[in-house]
Amino acid sequence: MSILRKLSTNKVALFGLIVLVFLVLVAIFGPYLYETSPWKMVNRPFMPPMENTDLMLGTDTMGRDVLAGLVYGARISLLVGLISTLIALLIGVPLGATAGYFGGWIDEALMRFTEIFQTVPSFALAIVIVAIFEPSVYSITIAIALVSWPPVARLVRGEFLALRNQEYVLAARLNGQTNRNIILREILPNTLSPIIVMASLMVATAILLESALSFLGLGDPEIMSWGYMIGAARTVIRQAWWLSFFPGVAIAITVLALNLVGEGLNEALNPKLSGKRES
Amino acid sequence: MNPVLKVEDLSIRLPEGADRPYAVNKLSYSLYPGEILCVVGESGSGKSMTANAVMGLLPKAIQVDKGAIIFDGKDLISLEEKRARDLRGNRISMIFQEPMTALNPLMRVEDQIGEVFLIHSDLSKQQRKARTLELLKDVGLPDPEKAMRVYPHQLSGGQRQRVMIAMALALEPSILIADEPTTALDVTTQAQILHLIKELQRKHGTAVMFITHDFGVVAEIADRVVVMQYGDMVEIGSREQVLNQPQHPYTKKLIAAVPPLSAPDREIEDRAGQSPALSVKSLCKTYVSPGGWFKPARTVHAAQDVSFDLYRGETLGLVGESGSGKSTVSRCIVRLLDSDSGEILLGGSAIQDLDHKALAPFRKQIQMVFQDPYASLNPRKTVGRIIADGPIAQGVPVAEAMDRARELLKLVELPETALDRYPHEFSGGQRQRVGIARALAHNPQVLVADEAISALDVSVQAQILELIDTLKKKLNLAVLFVVHDLRVAAQVCDRVIVMQHGKIVEAGNTKAVFEDPQHTYTQNLIASIPGADWRSEHQPTAVGQPA
């Protein structure tokens, strides 16, 4: 509750939050209100925006409604971003926590394993994974998750390393609490702030990754997404600018909003930073 | 005589939402040439604020409301920033508490001091070097030629503070401001630094504003004393006046809380027939930092052949300076660290080799109170859970454990309502009470207090010490009291063990050790206590001025 209040005092972050809430509402309810299938041909191809009041953003190369594509694309972009981040956290947090808490050879082994993923360029790895499996929402989500967990593991490991020798953790050990209890109840709650901040920024990165994959034609062929729209329109960018412009703006706004919220969260959750801002 | 620095009706406003409107309120005092003025107060009394205002080091959110600081006929507060800065560097200088962080780790000592001349004077390179060397000789660094070329990390804490003093005195300032310069140092080093400051002050006729919380230091060094409380100056006077005939009740209270440096008579029980609650036999612990290609491996003997017995109902003090191994020993005993060899017998059973599982039942018998009241409580848990989680982990039903937590709060004299509140709502002393309640939740026989009062203000210290003593009697605890403050040790311990370099150099009944120390290290330690002559019926045998 107090986090929300602190966020609301930061105008920039509040703006990001409002945009984000709007996007989420569009993603959830948009397809019900806007029932035109994004794949359906509704009018002549290459209709510029504002020409027809029913088709505010015009039509694409096949005469499909661009606005419908945006609305349906919002759902897939946010969904892929959220779920892949969630999976990445589910891999990265336990791994980093184990490495940081136990240290020694466990730490060495887990961190070398993490480095294998970090040394491969993440986008190339994502392409390979999607190409090996069939391009589908699932494989894309998993591919993004698999390339984005290493920074989480590193962050959580660092936090655990710093906190595991805090006196309250020592006291818990003296109390005879199990390692599992100490990790979950004593240390993890105290590392949540940086994890939340990182997660909000990871959603933004995941959306960009998904768009990039779809742009390269590695998206799910069944599903309309922003990246796919740009990719399909790139050959006609000089005749029909609006086909790549609007999805591009959508991506930019979403990522910007997430970054603003992330930054705001960082300030709200990190007492040292928020103190600086006041002075 | 004209004062060098005159603080006139100074008020410094705190940002809104602070616990009081003013950091210092209508403060007026003068600093005369050639005197040492001690500003004393507990944490949060605003004692450092005036010094920070003089040096222009106030945080942005805090502003001088009204008043003036007159130096050399000019008001430092209303003076233009650039001219004030000139005065500060040249004529007023400051040394800080933490010599570790006050020096640039990437600069050699020579360059560090030379920089002062580079900025404030037009000496040539040769002259700068000569002056630097002279200064290092002045502050008594061993082998000053070699010290010129070293980096700060190669110096000890006391040596770093000497370098800081050399820097501060480089330009022969009229005023030296020292903000708790010896708080981070060991007692023997502290004695040397205090001695040095006094000597240099005499030699150069510098006026010193010395900020401290320690009345021992005041007794050692001050000419005049200012006592601060909640931003108000409650008392000012000469050292003899303030220390021996304090007028204000707060000063009286503070001075009364300083433990006198003499052990009270205690009944020595005959323990011949009893079996000890804790028995440590030739405990050894060695730290080895592995060598690399270019550096040899380093071994530190943190504990060497340490043996002692601890009985129920007594307090055993483990005394020593930092690096003496006293914390290592206490952590080995509670099995936070694994010892290399030796035996730890808890109620007759050896616990030194037990694994996590086998150790669990013994955890109940030995518990620890930690040093830092801010780091020792999980900020995300309620006080109730902090106390009750140990027993819950050992299989006690939640409701029962919470009832017990409520009783424990009463035992440590905290209100029952504390149960559902979070640690940040409590003061340092209250938090330490919670820490004690947590340690008592298992009904332990042995309580290890690891510097449990070092982080607290002196008046709070006294309360916590009293609480531990009451609990010891009530619950018949065996208390191992790890402490570096000899005054405290003298007051609370039945027996003391003095450690140096991981070895026990002296052990015995407190009174005997304090009145007639046998080992030279113990003698040195006792002689180094600041203000040793003040408030002690028995003057310790002096062993000459420490170098």
Token couple for A261? 């919220």
Å between A189 CA and nearest CA of chain B: 7
Q: How many CB atoms lie within 10 A of CB B81?
A: 8
Q: Are B371 and A167 a contacting pair at CB < 8 A?
A: yes
CA terminus-to-terminus distance, chain A: 24
d(CA A231, CA A229): 5
Beta strands in A112-263 (DSSP E): none
Give Cα separations from B514 to A65, B252, B260 (angstroms): 92, 26, 12
The confidence score (pLDDT) of residue B538 equals: 39
Give Cα separations from A59 to A43, B5, B292, B500 (angstroms): 7, 80, 68, 84
pLDDT tens, A198-243? Answer: 998 899 899 999 989 988 888 888 888 888 888 888 888 888 888 8
Q: Are B442 and A175 a contacting pair at CB < 8 A?
A: yes
Query: Which residue of A174, A178, A186 is in closest CB contact with B378?
Result: A186
Angle, CA B489 vertex, CA B442 and CA B450 arms, to 5°: 40
**Which residue of B lies nearest to A176 if distances are taken between CA atoms?**
B360
The confidence score (pLDDT) of residue A149 equals: 94
Q: Are A175 and B15 a contacting pair at CB < 8 A?
A: no
Given a contact cutoff of 8 angstroms between Cβ atoms, the answer to whether A31 and A23 are in contact is no
- The phi, psi pair for B482, rounded to 5°, reads -90, 125
Q: Are B61 and A174 a contacting pair at CB < 8 A?
A: no
CA R_g for chain B? 25
What are the sequence ranges of the domains in chain B? Answer: 97-170, 278-528
Q: Are B363 and A167 a contacting pair at CB < 8 A?
A: no
The confidence score (pLDDT) of residue B295 equals: 67
Which alpha helices (DSSP H) does B227-302 contain, by range?
A: 239-244, 249-257
Residues of A numbered 149-168 whose beta carbons fall under 8 angstroms of chain B's beta carbons: which are they?
Answer: 166-168
pTM of the prediction?
A: 0.82
Task: Find chain A residues with C-beta within 8 A of B381's C-beta.
Answer: 185
Task: Find chain B residues with C-beta within 8 A of A186's C-beta.
Answer: 378
Given a contact cutoff of 8 angstroms between Cβ atoms, the answer to whether B469 and B415 are in contact is no
Q: Are A279 and B376 a contacting pair at CB < 8 A?
A: no
The three-state DSSP-derived secondary structure of B117-141 is: HHHHCCCCHHHHHHHHHHHHHHCCC
The confidence score (pLDDT) of residue A270 equals: 67
Given a contact cutoff of 8 angstroms between Cβ atoms, the answer to whether A17 and A264 are in contact is yes
Q: Are A176 and B363 a contacting pair at CB < 8 A?
A: yes
d(CA B532, CA B219): 8
d(CA A255, CA B1): 69
d(CA B120, CA B123): 9
Query: Which residue of A170, A177, A278 is in closest CB contact with B336?
Result: A170
Token couple for B195? 């001695």
Residue appearing with tokens 């009463």: B410
Query: Which residue of B375, B380, B393 is in closest CB contact with A176?
Result: B393
Task: Find chain B residues with C-beta within 8 A of A174's C-beta.
Answer: 334, 336, 363, 367-368, 390
Identify from A2, A3, A9, A174 which residue to disrupt to test chain B contact, counting B C-beta atoms within 10 A and taking the largest count: A174
- The phi, psi pair for B182, rounded to 5°, reads -115, 5
Task: Find chain A residues with C-beta within 8 A of B371's C-beta.
Answer: 167
pLDDT tens, A14-52? Answer: 999 999 999 999 888 888 877 778 888 777 877 788 777
Closest among A204, A175, A130, A113 to B336, alpha carbons compared: A175
d(CA B111, CA B106): 10
pLDDT at A4 > cutoff 80? no
Chain A / chain B CB contacts < 8 angstroms: 67
Å between B401 CA and nearest CA of chain A: 13
**Which residue of B lies nearest to A193 if distances are taken between CA atoms?**
B380
Q: Are B393 and A177 a contacting pair at CB < 8 A?
A: yes
- Weakest mean pLDDT among A90-99, A265-274, B193-202, B389-398: A265-274
pLDDT at A146 > cutoff 80? yes
Q: How many CB atoms lie within 10 A of CB A66?
A: 24
Given a contact cutoff of 8 angstroms between Cβ atoms, the answer to whether B367 and A174 are in contact is yes
What are the sequence ranges of the domains in chain A? Answer: 3-43+60-271
DSSP string, B191-240: HHHHHHHHHHHHHHT-EEEEEES-HHHHHHH-SEEEEEETTEEEEEEEHH
pLDDT tens, B271-309? Answer: 777 888 999 999 999 888 776 666 677 788 889 999 999
Q: Are B59 and A279 a contacting pair at CB < 8 A?
A: yes
**Which residue of B lies nearest to A179 if distances are taken between CA atoms?**
B356
Residue A171 sits at the chain B interface (C-beta within 8 Å): yes
List, for chain B, all residue ranges whose pLDDT scores fall below the cut of 70.
291-295, 535-547
Residues of A numbered 180-209 whose beta carbons fall under 8 angstroms of chain B's beta carbons: which are they?
Answer: 181, 185-186, 189-190
Identify from A167, A179, A181, A187 which residue to disrupt to test chain B contact, counting B C-beta atoms within 10 A and taking the largest count: A167
Å between B294 CA and nearest CA of chain A: 23
Beta strands B224-229 and B232-238, pairing class: antiparallel
Residues 6+ apart with CB under 8 A from B470: none
Å between A253 CA and nearest CA of chain B: 35
Task: Find chain A residues with C-beta within 8 A of B386's C-beta.
Answer: 168
Long-range contacts (CB closer than 8 Å, 24 or more residues apart) made by A178-181: A178/B393, A179/A101, A179/A102, A179/B356, A181/B393
The confidence score (pLDDT) of residue A218 equals: 87
Å between B433 CA and nearest CA of chain A: 14
d(CA A252, CA A226): 11
Residue appearing with tokens 């042995």: B446
Residue A106 sits at the chain B interface (C-beta within 8 Å): no
Task: Find chain B residues with C-beta within 8 A of A173's C-beta.
Answer: 336
d(CA B198, CA B220): 10
Residue A173 sits at the chain B interface (C-beta within 8 Å): yes
Given a contact cutoff of 8 angstroms between Cβ atoms, the answer to whether B326 and B454 are in contact is no
The confidence score (pLDDT) of residue B535 equals: 65
Query: Which residue of A172, A176, A185 is in closest CB contact with B360?
Result: A176
Residue A28 sits at the chain B interface (C-beta within 8 Å): no
Identify from B16, B355, B380 which residue to disrupt to test chain A contact, counting A C-beta atoms within 10 A and taking the largest count: B380
Given a contact cutoff of 8 angstroms between Cβ atoms, the answer to whether B328 and B501 are in contact is no
pLDDT tens, A177-200? Answer: 889 989 998 999 889 888 988 998
Strand order in the sheet with B349-350: B298-310, B278-289, B341-346, B349-350
Q: What's the longest Cα–Cα distance across chain B?
A: 77
d(CA B68, CA B79): 10
Closest among B257, B192, B233 to B463, alpha carbons compared: B257
Query: Which residue of A174, A190, A279 is in closest CB contact with B363?
Result: A174
List residues of chain B with CB under 8 Å from any CB of chain A: 15, 59-61, 334, 336, 356, 359-360, 363-364, 367-368, 370-372, 375-381, 386, 389-390, 393-394, 435, 438-439, 441-442
The confidence score (pLDDT) of residue A272 equals: 52
Closest among A164, A156, A181 to B336, alpha carbons compared: A164
Q: Are A278 and B61 a contacting pair at CB < 8 A?
A: yes
The confidence score (pLDDT) of residue B85 equals: 80
**Which residue of A lies nearest to B362 if distances are taken between CA atoms?**
A176
Task: Give the confidence band of A154 by pLDDT, cuts at 50, 70, 90.
Answer: very high
Q: Are B375 and A279 a contacting pair at CB < 8 A?
A: no
**Which residue of A lies nearest to B388 if distances are taken between CA atoms?**
A175
Residue A60 sits at the chain B interface (C-beta within 8 Å): no
